Amino acid sequence: MSEVYHGVLFRISDGADYACELFIDLDSNFPLRLVAFDATLMGVYAPKGEAPFEEFQRVAAQLSAVTGIAVIYFYDSRVDFIFEIFENGQLVQSNNEDLELIIDPFGPLEASELTDADIESVFMHENGNILLKA
């Protein structure tokens, strides 16, 4: 049985209330959650991986158009990690086609304190500070 979890990470300096406003304005037909990793680092994910990868590309583009940067963090035990970095609404870096390409998903967000285990705990097991559910 494969293990899959994924979501979008973004940083916002205007606080959780503004992150909630952005989340409410997202255009998505899938159940999503907004979670706070800390006061400025947020994540959007679908419980039990109920949204396709392409949906997170749309979400990342929407969020980065407002916040400047958003990072898709995708893990599938059959494939490995896939990271995509969006800036100002556009995909600027991806290892989706070439898994050998090394991408630091935390660098653009200045989130070096975050670990893969932190993200797995939230995106897969829903252990986190959930701010909103859609």
- Give the mean model confidence (pLDDT) for residues 99-119: 85
Q: How far apart are the first and last CA of the chain?
A: 28
| Residue bearing the bigger pLDDT, 76 or 23 | 23
Among the ranges given (34-38, 54-58, 97-101, 109-113), the one the predictor scored with the smallest mean pLDDT: 97-101
Q: How does pLDDT run across 48-93, given as a tens digit for each residue?
A: 778 888 999 999 999 999 999 999 999 888 888 889 999 999 999 9
Residue 96 has pLDDT above 90, yes or no: no
Binning pLDDT at 50, 70 and 90, where does residue 41 land?
A: very high
Residue with tokens 């959650």: 33
What are 123-126's contacts with CB under 8 Å, separation 24+? 123/5, 123/6, 123/7, 123/43, 123/45, 123/73, 124/3, 124/5, 124/49, 126/33, 126/47
